Structure 1
Amino acid sequence: MADNQNLEVLQAPGTVFFIFGATGDLAHRKLYPAIYSLYREGKLAEDFAVIGVARRPRTPEEFRSDLYDSIQEFCRYPVKDGEEWARFAEHFEYKSLDIHNVDGYRELREHTEAMEAKYGIPGNRLFYLALAPELFGSVSLNLQKGGMLESGGWHRLVIEKPFGYDLPSAEKLNEELNQVFKEEEIFRIDHYLGKEMVQNIEVIRFANAFFEPLWNNKHIANVQITLSETVGVEERGGYYDHAGALRDMGQNHMLQLLTMIAMEPPSRLLAEDIRDEKVKVLRSLRPYPTEAEVKAHVVRGQYTEGEAGGKVLPGYRQEDKIDPNSNTETYFAAKLYVDNFRWAGVPFYIRTGKRLPVKTTEVVVEFKSMPNNVYLGQKHTLAPNLLVIRVNPMEGIYIKINAKNPGTESEIKPLAMEFCQSCQVGINSPEAYERLIHDAAHGDSTYFTRWDEVAAAWSFIDRIAEAWAKAPGEISHYPAGSWGPKEAEELLAQDGFKWWPVNGQEEDNVIWIKG
């Protein structure tokens, strides 16, 4: 039974979920808690099973103990001990498997059929590969060879980023997957698309009559997208020194947020129509054809030793598993243009980096300023109006307008009217993976990335990466705990703009009305 009777409950069809990489960090922190939340809300009935697959041996008792610890620590619902927990945990089994051994998949097939018979599952199988991308192709092929795709229901493959390292590697990986799965059976996860406020962008834009008429180059001066992290590379040094901020965040999260802001309204509320519009945005991005163009529009940075909260922070080159001479970027900012009728001439500024002062994901839409030579503009410096969408960690939106300061004769100050979704009493906002796993089970691909979307994003990013590869030493540095290189400020200043303060860094001269 669902915990919250007010929730709109759409139960997933009877499905066996296979978690490859069942003992890994992603499964422990995100996937198991998401499945438990779906169960608690009634979105998973009793006709489901989860089979964890990994190389290391685990008894069923050890696996379920790990499962309990995972949910206890990371789930937004507390564990209900006793009969309900026992009933939930019964649906979980573990299979130790060498993913390169086809015979193991045949054993897995027998194990699966027994679970399907036990819970009345009609052969629907969802394979979640929480593995390194280079294993996607071989696992898919072995699923086919081992008879795992011969059941009577549907079969779907869910894969995590990174989807390739560049366009050629992504194309090779896609060809491998297409030997086994059709495009409509492949669900490429970008977990940012599962976040509540990212999905709310569509509603804010297309469900409010006073936004859509203003959502164009006649009224919007610029758009800023910030995705900042306070952490360094942590345990990901080996991967990160190979990827860098451009590939780790730019090709997926940053461009996905941009497409949600810039897309045209789809003609129908169908997944393919929505994804069509996002691809059009990526194809409309103005390319940087020369190294000089890249240098003029993109800032590349790396953090050095710094300080935050009274704590000394090491530089990137001092981090574990990092080459002491590395020129891998931990920060990048770029000025992008979407060359279509709606957005022609409007700069989109994006930035992301590690060891920045605040952890946040925010979109700022800055509207064009009022004329400064007529009426109130003659006497007052009027701040531009802003629409700010806060995606993470605080969810919400606020609108900044100009208003008379109460108690004064004619002083005008910026006033921010805020809706804080995270602050609402009783709201227990779903995690991104809950929505995405539920959608994949239903075959709803709206918030997953299609192949042509991935290819268009890589095609744009590769031009930047190629220019950087030709001049590896041309990298700016910034102290850990700062907002990045000074060149990122100059990128906006040359257009007469500035980066707006982000979550937790509100301006002192703004009157806040919070709700």
Structure 2
Amino acid sequence: MTSSAENSGQPVFTIIVLGASGDLAKKKTFPALFGLFLHGHISPKTRIIGYARTKMDRPDFLKRISQHIKNTTAPKVKTMLDQFLDQSTYVSGAYDQDSGFLALEQEIQRVEREAKIYDRLFYMALPPSVFIPVANGLKRNCYTTKGINRLIVEKPFGMDLESSRTLSKALGALYREDEIYRIDHYLGKEMVKNIMILRFSNQIFGSCWNKDHISNVQITFREKIGTEGRGGYFDEFGIMRDVMQNHLLQILTLIGMEAPRSSNAEDIRDAKVNVLRAIPEVIESEVLLGQYGKSEDGTMPSYLDDDTVPKGSKTATFAAAAFHINNPRWEGVPFVLKCGKALDQQKVEIRIQFKDMGNAIFHKDVAARNELVIRVQPQEAVYLKMTQKLPGLGMDTVMSELDLSYASRFTNLTVPDAYENLILDAIVGEQSNFVRTDELDEAWRIFTPVLHKIDRGLVPVEIYPYGSRGPKHLPEFVTRFGFERHAQNYSWPETSQTSVAQAVAALSADSKL
């Protein structure tokens, strides 16, 4: 069967968003779809259909999906938004009854006749509790035989190895693996997608990316906010399931994998799976857990102060864990993953710390360890910390950096949203940034034993103040796995658009002298 994607240069899908009334769809999915539409990355013929249990008329639906779209007063944006909304409709129905899906199928067929579209992309912006009934309802009632079917599934993909396998088996019985797109939005972030380019296109990094040169790798996720009334949802999962088992582990595989045989999606995913297979299960003695309490000044609430959190909950809002890749490249190099809420900073970064110089002519306190830092967010950047001579008559040293800050280097470009990247990948059939079944299986194998011990309260949880750096034993923990903080105070100069503009103005003024 020849699909509409094959008949034109640009794939054309009817995009059906399941869970269209929820926060994820409202804040992420629809703004991403509009961003793609606005910049011409999806066809003007594309039709959007929302489906959810909430009963609302089309004007209410259109108001809901447009409220998180930015810059709508700009003439071009307003015109395109009007067109986008004109091509969007809504159907309400249950997730476990065929009647709703039959109504959805009627609406899909209506827009397909109108736009001559035969390919369907189903985006399940839904909680995992309804994945299977919705997947069944779609397969029975809305699966097209005239074109392509693709199914985007949001995390979490289960709670442990057993539940993940149950979910994978159920989905696998309904859809082929090439039809399933398990979305982890961190794989769509610009700096995460940049990791492979940095590693495999630069000899300077490729030649030293191993145990002979690297001491340890730190992958850090820090949030300044707490649960903010979402504690009921968060408490079911905890920080390790919510962030570490998926987002941070995905980053680890990109840092740790061998060069894929090609840029083909399956070769890339094979390389990631091989890394996971080389990682033994996490053990509780190499895990540090924390839960945020009140801030030191008493102005910010504790996790347990959230009314949606069960009384006396021991759920961790901070976790650090060490991972070991038992292969020739990485034997003996610890990878420490850290994630937490209600901390002092908002950032996600990868910090690769190189080994000491050894028999250097300069003392260790003078010649500090080099670090390659990849700042994922905010203020995307890559910088290399290094020791240099401090300008002057003496031989004093200073820690400085070779700095690629996106805000100053790419002033005329916009970093796309992660969801835009991944939805576009799904539309064009690019699966390298989505999670395959065996990859998911290996990830849960690594985490499940320690997660079960955490669930049973067998791993202690340390209280840390809201707005702090985390549990008081964190510095000791990272030191245990090889990380060294240099004696000199060092802070990366946060480059702002204002300072860049000032620098450009100064250079312009100099050129006129």
Conserved in 2, the CA contact under 8 Å of 1:413 and 1:510?
no
Partner of 1:411: 396
Is 1:168 aligned with 2:158? no
Conserved in 2, the CA contact under 8 Å of 1:396 and 1:418?
yes
1:81–1:260 CA distance, 2 compared to 1 (3 A): closer
Q: Give the deviation of 1:36 after TM superposition.
A: 1.3
1:312–1:510 CA distance, 2 compared to 1 (3 A): closer
Q: 89, 103, 107: which one pairs with 2:103? A: 107
Conserved in 1, the CA contact under 8 Å of 2:153 and 2:182?
yes
Is 1:364 aligned with 2:351? yes
Q: Give the deviation of 1:134 after TM superposition.
A: 1.5
Partner of 2:504: none
Partner of 2:131: 136
Partner of 2:261: 267
Q: Identity percentage over the alignment?
A: 36
Spell out, residue by residue over 1:174-202, the C-alpha distance to the aligned partner (whole angstroms, 9 max, x if none).
12112211111110010000000000011
Q: Give the deviation of 1:143 after TM superposition.
A: 1.2
Distance 2:494 2:313 in 1: 46
Q: How does 1:172-183 map to 2 (within 5 A)?
A: 172-183=166-177
Partner of 1:455: 441
For the residue of structure 2 that corresponds to 1:43, the secondary structure is coil
Q: 150, 154, 163: which one pairs with 2:148? A: 154
Q: Give the deviation of 1:118 after TM superposition.
A: 1.3
Q: 279, 298, 312: which one pairs with 1:325? A: 312
The residue identity in structure 2 corresponding to 1:366 is Q
Paired residues, what number? Answer: 488
Q: 415, 418, 421: which one pairs with 2:406? A: 421
Q: Give the deviation of 1:228 after TM superposition.
A: 0.7
Partner of 1:6: none
Q: 289, 305, 312: which one pairs with 1:300? A: 289
Conserved in 1, the CA contact under 8 Å of 2:124 and 2:151?
yes
Conserved in 2, the CA contact under 8 Å of 1:302 and 1:477?
yes
TM-score, length of structure 2 as denominator length = 0.90
Partner of 1:5: none
Q: Give the deviation of 1:37 after TM superposition.
A: 1.2
The residue identity in structure 2 corresponding to 1:174 is S
Bigger drift between 78-87 and 456-465 goes to 78-87
The residue identity in structure 2 corresponding to 1:394 is Q
Q: 471, 494, 497: which one pairs with 2:480? A: 494
Partner of 2:63: 65
Distance 2:481 2:258 in 1: 26
Partner of 1:276: 270
Distance 2:315 2:58 in 1: 43
RMSD of equivalent CA atoms: 2.3
Spell out, residue by residue over 1:394-416, the C-alpha distance to the aligned partner (whole angstroms, 9 max, x if none).
21110111111111411111111
Q: How does 1:234-249 map to 2 (within 5 A)?
A: 234-249=228-243
Conserved in 1, the CA contact under 8 Å of 2:150 and 2:180?
yes
Spell out, residue by residue over 1:261-315, the C-alpha distance to the aligned partner (whole angstroms, 9 max, x if none).
1011100110011001111111111334xxxx422x11111111114xx771111
Partner of 1:3: none
Conserved in 2, the CA contact under 8 Å of 1:356 and 1:481?
yes
Give ranges in structure 2 of 5+ residues lacking alignment. 1-7, 501-513
1:417–1:512 CA distance, 2 compared to 1 (3 A): farther
Give ranges in structure 1 of 5+ residues lacking alignment. 1-9, 502-506
For the residue of structure 2 that corresponds to 1:169, the secondary structure is helix
For the residue of structure 2 that corresponds to 1:255, the secondary structure is helix
For the residue of structure 2 that corresponds to 1:45, the secondary structure is coil
1:226–1:79 CA distance, 2 compared to 1 (3 A): farther
TM-score, length of structure 1 as denominator length = 0.90
Distance 2:490 2:77 in 1: 50
The residue identity in structure 1 corresponding to 2:81 is W
Q: Give the deviation of 1:339 after TM superposition.
A: 0.7
Partner of 2:208: 214
Q: Give the deviation of 1:498 after TM superposition.
A: 3.7
Distance 1:500 1:53 in 2: 54
Conserved in 2, the CA contact under 8 Å of 1:11 and 1:44?
no
Conserved in 1, the CA contact under 8 Å of 2:268 and 2:432?
yes
Conserved in 2, the CA contact under 8 Å of 1:400 and 1:415?
yes
Partner of 2:510: none
Partner of 2:507: none
Distance 2:36 2:486 in 1: 37
